[in-house]
Amino acid sequence: GGAAHLIDNTENGLLVPIQDFTLLSDAMCWIVENEDKAISMGKAALNIKNRFNSINVCKQWLEFLKTFDDSSN
């Protein structure tokens, strides 16, 4: 679901299993210990934000809805 479809683990974020507090803690420590990679992942994560901003999503919906336009028949 959701986040797993958007996040490429260690490229634009870190994925940990739900309710796995040990792995979550490990991931948080890893972020603190790997500042350069954390910054790199943060910058890459902005691409997700930009890809799914309201303007782009509206454009995608409009393109999709145009496929149902039967006025050309």
For the chain, 73 residues long, give each residue's pLDDT as a single digit of tens.
688 888 999 999 999 999 999 999 999 999 999 999 999 999 999 998 888 889 999 999 999 999 998 665 5
Give the per-residue pLDDT at 3: 82
Determine if the pTM surpasses 0.85: no
Q: DSSP string of 23-46? A: HHHHHHHHHHH-HHHHHHHHHHHH
Alpha-carbon gap, residue 63 to 24, rounded angstroms:
39
Residue 32 carries which side chain, given as an amino acid letter?
V
Residue 51 pairs in a beta bridge with: none
